[in-house]
Amino acid sequence: MALPFNYATEYRAKLRTPDQAARAVKSGDWIDIGMGAGFPTLMDEAIARRRDELRGVKIRGSLIFQPIRMVECDEERKHFIYNSWHMSGYERKLCDRGLCNFSPMVFRNLGYYYQFYLTVNVAMIAVPPMNAHGYFNFSAANAYARAVMDKADIVILEVNENLPWVYGGLDECIHISEVDMIVEGEHGPLPTLDPPPASEAEIKIAEYVVQNMVNGSTLQLGIGSLPNAVGQMLARSDLKDLGVHTEMLCDSYLDLYKAGKVTNRKKNIDRYKSVFGFAVGSPDLYDWIRENPGVVTYPITYCNSPGKIGRLDNFVSINNCIRVDLYGQICAETVGTRQISGTGGQLDFLEGAALSRGGKAFVCMTSSFTDKNGKTSSRITPDLLRGDVVTDPRTLAFYLVTEYGVVNLMGCTTWERAEKLISIAHPDFRDELIAAAQAQGIWIRSNKR
């Protein structure tokens, strides 16, 4: 269909080369780049070419899976200072090299941070081609995109011919009248996410989780091999009429759909629709979400709202963590002061599941780990280690799972928490954990292991 004359004319008037659009960035600016599949590669390269002209440009992004040229070209961070809301494996390596800083946040509130507190001088995001009505779509990177564009002084859209147009319920599009510049060019394949295979312990953990689910549950899966193992096990289970309400859509959901498990017919809201904030996965996943009225995107302010989640009966959240102390404090994002991941939506979905009738939030971990020097340590510890960040406070701890079992900490006393957590710790560490609990005054003498 030919574009109406006014939109075609406006489109041509706003069309720039990447190098022309990059001139909008000034020294000292705050710029925001699209997350995940919305990363604007052409603009990134063009701004990197201006390195020697710029100083102190501050960049916000998240879950970027490919090299960021602005960062890679400036090892001393004199020109570009990169910051991430949530670490991909690539961004974690940037952190280790001193080229990235983490921005702590509560994911559901990220849109409000932009609305009330943050400065955005230039915003840029990759989008599919404009439609006949003058709209561009945020595709697989909706999340908090609209909030960024609304706050930005200058909006630059990079048209990526490979991105799918994704239907949505709220804030999934921006009109050409709201855009300052448009950039075109050839792009490579979209970023993919392929979690490593699950370990034997993770498969056992997945079994515990699936055993605690019922028909009609609505599902949120986190990132990693363990949530992926849960998805695969669900696909082979007898459960049916599952729903999807998640921040991140990955291939596990597509596997469940192909297995006939996802119908969304039991959802109390958004019935018959799988709801997500952003998507990263295989080419098949991007094909699945392309113009599919059964898979729709909403901003994170909606997807991660505990109030919205709580309206879904039998809501099940499944996420990972790194360490838990005997009080139920959960660290899911750092090892000491080393940033590994981010808060993401784990806290949001813990709260939401607690409000859901029949809801359950599972935070999963292997009971122990072995470091590169061959030393084995417990993931359940008397207290968190120096530098560990509390992702989930003890007041929100719900179901904790290891390969040795599953326990529910909701409403438990300190001594009940210690008892339950020690019961799912690796047997080799239980005696020393009991001794620590006694020293901390959270062990009752009559307790039996």
Which residues are annotated as catalytic?
A: 247
For the chain, how far is it from start to end, CA to CA, in angstroms?
71
Contact (CB, 8 A) for 227 and 318: yes
Helix (H, G, I), strand (E, B) or coil at 247: strand
User: What H or E segment, with its residue span, contains residue 317?
Assistant: strand 315-320
Distance CA 317, CA 212 (A): 12
Give the largest Cα separation in the chain, rounded.
Answer: 81
DSSP state of 168: B
3-state SS assignment for residue 235? helix
Task: Quickly count: other Cβ atoms within 10 Å of residue 238's Cβ.
Answer: 8
Beta bridge partners, 183, equal: 16, 158
- State the Rg of the chain over Cα: 23
Burial class (CB in 10 A: 0-12, 13-18, 19+), 86: buried
The rounded distance, in Å, linking the Cα atoms of 126 and 83 is 19
Query: Locate tokens 């991430």: which residue?
Result: 84
Cβ-contact 178, 151 below 8 angstroms: no
Question: In terms of residues, how long is the chain?
Answer: 449
Q: In 10 A of CB 383, how many CB atoms?
A: 13
SS3 for 157?
Answer: strand
Please state the three-class secondary structure of 352-373 as a single string.
Answer: HHHHCCCCEEEEECCCEEECCC
Supply 372's token pair: 């590169």
* Torsion angle of C-alpha atoms 49, 50, 52, 57, degrees rounded to 10: -120
Nearest to 350 by CA among 324, 380, 330, 365: 330
DSSP letter, residue 206: H
